[in-house]
A and B are shown apart, each in its own frame.
Chain A
Amino acid sequence: QSALTQPASVSGSPGQSITISCTETNSDLGTNNHVSWYQQHPGKAPKLVIYEVNNRPSGVPNRFSGSKSGNTASLTISGLQAEDEASYYCSSYAGSHVVFGEGTKLTVL
């Protein structure tokens, strides 16, 4: 089964930009655009912030953007704000299964 690898943690100062990577161990990410990203604050359910690589659901600020190159997808948050401090998870869908990344803890310094 696929596995999605994310860095355990990233950090940035308010106003800066950060990028979180999500790399798949087999070739699924490179062959489809089924990549989503979630933001999760402690004690809360995850919130969808990006779907299909680079699409934002209604209500998600345009500071959140996604991209993909080969087997690696990325989430970029520009103009960091204190409220962006949370855990972020990527996900992918292939072969009738959904896989989540291990999660990345974003700290806003």
Chain B
Amino acid sequence: QVQLQESGPGLVKPSGTLSLTCAVSGDSISNSQWLSWVRQPPGKGLEWIGQIYRSGSPNSNPSLKSRVTISVDKSRNQFSLKLSSVTAADTAIYYCARAYCTSNDCYLDAFDIWGQGTMVTVSS
């Protein structure tokens, strides 16, 4: 079955850029139509960061839009997140997730497969 695995630095300096990748295993990333990033600050709720349709144009949370870059690397079967100008408020567990799709439709807020999450701390 399809599995997702996040990876990247666990510590990022303030004003720097957070860079994470999500490796897709068990299937070609081309078969996963909508791929998203979601984060969760310690002890707090979930926040959607953004999504990308295969290798199409990404959408992102308006509150983060100017700082977010999401892209797909089909050759490596992975997709990535870059978040620029980070502050302590960006400290969180970062998850990658895949939207649930049937043969007829995709449900873009229904994430049926999640990575295990990776903790990123913003600190000097």
**Hey, which chain A residues are within 8 Å of B63, CB to CB?**
1
What residues of A have a CB within 8 angstroms of the CB of B116 in the complex? 45
Which residues of chain A come closer than 8 Å to B111, judged between CB atoms?
A: 36, 38, 46, 48
A-B contact count (CB 8 A): 68
Q: Within 8 Å of chain A (Cβ to Cβ): is B45?
A: yes
Interface 0/1 of B70-103, CB less than 8 Å to A: 0000000000000000000000000100001000
What is the bound-complex CA distance between A96 and B111, given in angstroms? 15
* Contact across chains for B108 and A34 when beta carbons are under 8 A apart: yes
- Do residues A52 and B117 form an inter-chain contact, with CB atoms below 8 A? no
Distance A1 CA – B60 CA, assembled complex (angstroms): 12
Q: Please give the distance in Å from A82's CB to the nearest CB on chain B.
A: 23
List A contacts of B48 (CB < 8 A).
91, 97-100
B15 interface hit (Cβ, 8 Å): no
CB pair A89–B46 under 8 Å, yes or no, is: yes
Residues of B within 8 A of A64 (CB): none
Task: Check A34 against B107 for contact (C-beta < 8 Å).
Answer: yes
A39-54: which have CB < 8 Å to B? 40, 45-48, 51-52
CB-contact partner of B110 in A1, A40, A52, A103, under 8 A: A52
Mostly, the A contact residues are strand
Which chain B residue lies CB-closest to A93? B109
Return chain B residues, CB-CB under 8 Å to A98. 36, 48, 51, 108-109
Task: Report if A61 contacts B (CB, 8 A).
Answer: no
> Does any Cβ of B come within 8 Å of A84's Cβ?
no
Number of A interface residues at 8 Å Cβ cutoff, please give it. 25
10 A-B pairs whose Cβ atoms sit less than 8 Å apart in the complex: A36-B109, A38-B111, A46-B38, A46-B114, A91-B48, A92-B109, A93-B109, A98-B48, A98-B108, A103-B46
Known: A1-B63, A34-B109, A46-B111. 18 other contacts (CB 8 A): A34-B107, A34-B108, A36-B109, A40-B46, A45-B114, A45-B115, A45-B116, A51-B109, A51-B112, A91-B46, A91-B48, A91-B109, A93-B108, A93-B109, A98-B109, A100-B45, A100-B46, A101-B45
Chain B residues within 8 Å of A, Cβ to Cβ: 36, 38, 45-48, 51, 59, 61-63, 95, 100, 107-112, 114-117
